[in-house]
Structure 1
Amino acid sequence: MSDILKISQEDIIYHIKISCQIPSLLEAIAARKVITETAEKVGITIEIAELQKSADNLRLANRLIKAEETWEWLQKHYLSLDNFEEIAHLNILSTKLAHHLFADKVEPFFYAHQVDYTSAVTYEVILDDEDLALEIFYALQEGEISFSEIARQYIQNPEIRRAGGYQGIRKRSDFRPEISALVFAANPPQIIKPIITPKGSHIIVVEEIIEPELNEQIREKILGDLFTNWLKEQVNKLEIIAKLENDINFSSPPVEILNKAS
């Protein structure tokens, strides 16, 4: 085999077919068409300054600081400068369409689902022995041992152990349901009685419950979710028909293959 491997367009399409990626690609293509056609219908336009900013954000997202880095990235992905501009254009078009459709729906959605955005600051140790977990829980309550001591002794992961079992700021959806119910019912700072799950016995310290505020980060997250859900609904309404060369005719499938499959 030579050092140079030449791959044709037919090879690429064939690989996409046999790796079963055609459906996801068709959905992505349909989504792009929905965005462009809807934006045109509602009269969304892109200014040169907006396109430039979108291109700058695209370079930043891919850590393309220098011109040669951008050129190498384009070559790696078989893109032209026009393709790069098209990507930037679609990005800003999607953003502006999302704001056009849902900017006024973000705040009502947030207050209707405010409980989902409440967060908790927790520390956690998971033990295999339920009796030991209960014994440690009572020792913690009596002040006979500190949580950091337990973390150093029972947490295997080095980074989590060094952080004293700190789990960060987590939303309700980040917890198992049986844990979430108790964590968000806690009165911080509070040590929760061991919770049994398939992972083991969880000893959790709830340090703080953070009530949500509609900041820019949450606003953009809600806007993005609303737009993504809308886009999926629009694509699902479409009957997508793709015409590929040498398409297989499924009107009379090989009987022996179907028999083996069944």
Structure 2
Amino acid sequence: MTTALQVSNCMLQEQEILLRLINYQMMPQLRRESIIDQAIAEIYCTEEELAIARQQFYEQNQMLEESKQQVWLKYHSMTQEFLETSFIPRLLKIEKFKHQQWNHTLESYFLKRKPELDSAIYSLIQVQDAEIAEELYFRIQENEQSFADVAREYSQGPEAQLNGIVGPIELGTMHPALTHLLSISQPGQLWLPTPIDNWILIVRLEQLLPAQLDIPMRQRLLHERFEAWIAEQMSEDSL
């Protein structure tokens, strides 16, 4: 018996399905999901856990109304039965797998990542002329003009529209030189003009916001560990 799949108005046979998966570059996704299925195969979920997972899924996807459920199901070519007996249980098993594998090491992982996860609010002026940067720096230092006024008038970046204020932004997402500057700053500390890439920056730390290992952060870090594991498994699978 051959396998066939109807997509829109096309009936695709088994060989055509395979060719399209390859042509649409979807084979890596298929490998990824197969690795996940193998990892979660033995995970058990209670009826209570499944009931909570279903309710959370409907709430998170704004599908509490039956009409919205039907729209979602049609878009994803899925039946209500498949959604509740296969799709949602799989999502729950994945979450349980993450907790089983990495929850006990999350505190140490958080501490390792914390320098990058801390956020900063800072004032910034960007110009391309070193002499202008020096002049602007001394105006601010001598209180001849406020940082906000100078930024609004002279900064050549988008921060000019916000009186020079940037953030909060995680330190790990910034240019390494800027990350270093802010990480060793005290609030209110004004730095001499600093060349970074093609710009001359005048920077003042306003506030450092330490990252907290709260529930959203735990979920984020568990997802990071999971994605790193998936990448490792796929790399080994391709050897």
Tell me if both proteins adopt one fold, taking TM over 0.5 as the criterion.
Answer: yes
Q: Which residue of 1 aligns with 2:3?
A: none
Matches within 5 A, 1:39-118: 40=42, 44-85=43-84, 86-118=86-118
Q: Which residue of 1 aligns with 2:128?
A: 128
Using the TM superposition, name which of 167-176 and 208-217 deviates more: 208-217
Q: Retained in 1: the 8 A contact 2:125–2:157?
A: no
Q: Which residue of 2 aligns with 1:216?
A: 215
- Give how far 1:161 is off: 4.3
Change in 2 beyond 3 A, CA 1:163/1:237: same
Three-state SS of the structure 2 residue aligned to 1:126 is strand
2:168 aligned with 1:164: no
Three-state SS of the structure 2 residue aligned to 1:206 is strand
Q: Retained in 2: the 8 A contact 1:35–1:93?
A: no
Unaligned runs of 5+ in 2: 1-7
- Give how far 1:190 is off: 1.6
The whole-number CA distance in structure 2 between the counterparts of 1:84 and 1:176 is 43
The whole-number CA distance in structure 2 between the counterparts of 1:58 and 1:126 is 45
Alignment counterpart, residue 32 of structure 1, candidates 29, 32, 36: 36
The whole-number CA distance in structure 2 between the counterparts of 1:18 and 1:231 is 23
The whole-number CA distance in structure 1 between the counterparts of 2:22 and 2:236 is 24
The whole-number CA distance in structure 1 between the counterparts of 2:48 and 2:157 is 48
Q: Retained in 2: the 8 A contact 1:183–1:192?
A: no
Q: Which residue of 2 aligns with 1:193?
A: 192
Change in 2 beyond 3 A, CA 1:55/1:154: farther
Q: What's the TM-score once normalised by structure 2's chain length?
A: 0.81
The whole-number CA distance in structure 2 between the counterparts of 1:126 and 1:7 is 55
- Give how far 1:14 is off: 4.2
* 1:80-121 superposed Cα distances (whole Å, 9 cap, x missing partner): 113322221111111111111211111122234433333222
* 1:7-30 superposed Cα distances (whole Å, 9 cap, x missing partner): 3335765443223332x2232222
How many residues were matched structurally? 229
State the percentage of identical aligned residues.
20
Three-state SS of the structure 1 residue aligned to 2:120 is strand
* 1:202-237 superposed Cα distances (whole Å, 9 cap, x missing partner): 222211223343322322222222222223333433
Q: Which residue of 1 aligns with 2:10?
A: 7
Change in 2 beyond 3 A, CA 1:105/1:135: same
Q: Which residue of 2 aligns with 1:138?
A: 138
Change in 2 beyond 3 A, CA 1:132/1:174: same
The whole-number CA distance in structure 2 between the counterparts of 1:175 and 1:153 is 24
The whole-number CA distance in structure 2 between the counterparts of 1:12 and 1:156 is 52
For 1:146, the aligned partner's letter is S
For 1:134, the aligned partner's letter is E
**RMSD after superposition:** 2.7
Change in 2 beyond 3 A, CA 1:188/1:47: same
The whole-number CA distance in structure 2 between the counterparts of 1:113 and 1:79 is 39
- Give how far 1:184 is off: 0.9
